[in-house]
Chain A
Amino acid sequence: MTEYRSFAAVQTDLKAGSITCRQLVDHYLDRIAEQAHLNVFTQVYTDESRVQAEQVDRKLANGTAGRLAGMVIGLKDVLSHAGHGLRAGSHILDNFTAQFTGTAVERLLAEDAIVIGRQNCDEFAMGSSNENSAFGPVRNAADPTRVPGGSSGGSAVAVQAGLCLASIGSDTGGSVRQPAAFCGVVGLKPTYGRISRWGLVAYASSFDCIGPIANTLADVALLLEIMAGPDGFDSTVSTQPVGAYTQAVTAPVKPLRVAYLREGIDSEGVDPAIREATRQKLDQLRAAGHQVDAVDISLLKYLLPTYYILTTAEASSNLSRFDGVRYGYRSPDSTDLITMYKRSRTEGFGAEVRRRILLGTFVLSASYYDAYYTKAQRVRRLMQQEMERLFTQYDVLLSPTTPTTAYRLGEKTSDPLQMYLGDIFTVLANVVGYPAVSIPNGHDGSEPALPIGLQLMTPPFAEERLLTVAQSLQ
């Protein structure tokens, strides 16, 4: 069967009658089995997806099919889907079955998307390499000795390796964009509050965004258009009207004022191949008549500390509910309430999650609250102000998505700080709540060659502009 790389191609063949959804699902099921060594899916809904496919085929035949008929997707294992396991890559949710379907998934299902399975990820979406999963690491399809990025590693590889057409991930500090860059696919983090978080297992509530991963901007735009918008279950979701994202992808580009992050080119930490690929894109923009300027963000050096203080603070509280009392893992060695808490949480959570809970508890503790949490909140506000100022002069901000390409499994596991540094370019969008997308930007000179990502960022709710500009750079 054809390796479909866009939903448009699938739709054409469905219309022509040359394939059925059932055949499509069977094809993906075969692919998943062939590529099992990549460890992408934590559960494959073999029978269910076949039944679903046949239902969609019938709907297509009688003209009642939704906009996503023929779209076979996978869900990162942090998205609540009623009647299905929900594990967030963690032992602490052993045997947990979701009791409700989150808003984004609900909307996709309502448009006849077919869910083929749940995808491996870093535990509670904490990680940049997908090595922090209770289900073992995910491998990069470009080079299985390398990481896929994280935390939505399984979701990116699934698209990269053709195990489904698109994935739904989540992005708290780059968890959609960074693995998309490492795997050579498109990953979008929308504006904070653009998509309801109802049904998304929380890591850091004021940063978390659901985001689509696909091969094309058109597919990412379509998925966003369907998932976005107001929702009675989430008081933090925006009531801003949903844009015509699918049309934005084909809209012409007007002359732009493009800013690029000077650090993204000049910093010693940036791989030469990435530097070069980014430069080429800037030249391409200049050649097309756009204004292109280097900019500095004065607070950049405070970005990672701010991010890690605030996200771990929120995480330490968000993860308190996993206590062994009502559901999930409870240590069999519990002797009383305190040992039940301590042992269940120590045994149920992995090392990285425990590290972040401890860090977050520390920064919120009475003696350190003002020195860390309050100060970080202040820096976050200052950064938002700085970005607001920047975007009065520019339409879009460019940088590499990551300073390096995919590294080897185990290469950075012993040095979490080194791994955190890899998030430097992606974290900004989450700290300020802006939308950003990572698009493929060539490959480096490794053998085999590894994908490079380019990141574009626009002001809040300017996803249409983001998609239009990104499309022009492909």
Chain B
Amino acid sequence: MGLVLRNVDKTVGGETHLKAINLNFEPGSRNVLLGRTLAGKTSLLRIMAGLDRPSRGSVLIDGRDVTGVSVRKRSVAMVYQQFINYPSLTIYKNIASPLKVSGMNNAEIDRRVRETAKMLHIDDLLDRLPAELSGGQQQRTAIARALVKDAQLLLLDEPLVNLDYKLREELRTELQDIFQRREAIVVYTTTEPAEALMLGGNIVVIDEGRILQTGPTPDVYHNPATLKVAEVFSDPPINYLDGRVNDRYAFLGRDIKIPLSGHLRRLAPGDYTFGIRSNHLFLFRLNAEDAEITAEVELSEINGSETFIHINHYDTFLVVQDVGIHPRKIGSRISVFMNPASLFVYDSSGTLIASPSPGSLAAGR
């Protein structure tokens, strides 16, 4: 079992929605499609489901070419952003609907519906109508309806985006448990890097219709292959500093000088873009080798347990994320510190040259 997309393109009215998509999903895998709005996530999902045909390329399930096969003939289940349920049917009938179409006998349908409803904690709401339920419960119903089919391919298009923050957290944990127990290929789209990280599995980073990078989620997170991937896959946004390298030093920003050591040792002289994550910039010096960045405070935000400070280093804007409450006055001068071992280095074409190795990251908490 497996889902393969080969050289898939999708053009609609002169606009390219997808280009050169090549994907290979193993059965039982969890895959997150991460991208901004209009990146092409929904178009891609629709092609996987069979709701749309690709303009070029093919879709294969279990080695069989299903590119032209209509969605009714495929083993697919889909959950949408808007809680889509049949408004005039009870929750029980909603969940049972795909099974009724397949001609299963009633006893079996009943068993499966109750089992799935219990898994999603809506087993006491089976007699109600969708309009009587809260948003979270409606979405659970939609998810139950998708799960009860036991389809080979389970597609979820930003299913939690219309729910409350806390509800999202809860459902996400529940969904993870549910996905663990299934043999189906799960494809989940989202715009939030944090959600992608929480779901784990594999990630496909997509931007403007193209796939930028795929791989196990933590790997891609710690090694974003291009500047664009780093941008899309970070929250808060990753910080960039332009820099030059000569034989012995790297010069970043206006006045940051770093000796070439550790993973920076092998950098050839030239121009580079250096990336550093917000949580690797600190308000206090932690190690002797920390580099100091002087800047002006633009803004400080506190969220109860962490401080985010937006600073301006000679017109380069950086965000610092530090643990604890450290308010700083706007307009004041500030020094932030970073361990050069946590720098990502990108060459002039935006490709990753060097990334921090795990374990080399700033320690000392």
A pairs with B: no
Please list the residues of chain B having a beta carbon within 8 angstroms of any beta carbon in chain A: none
Please list the residues of chain A having a beta carbon within 8 angstroms of any beta carbon in chain B: none
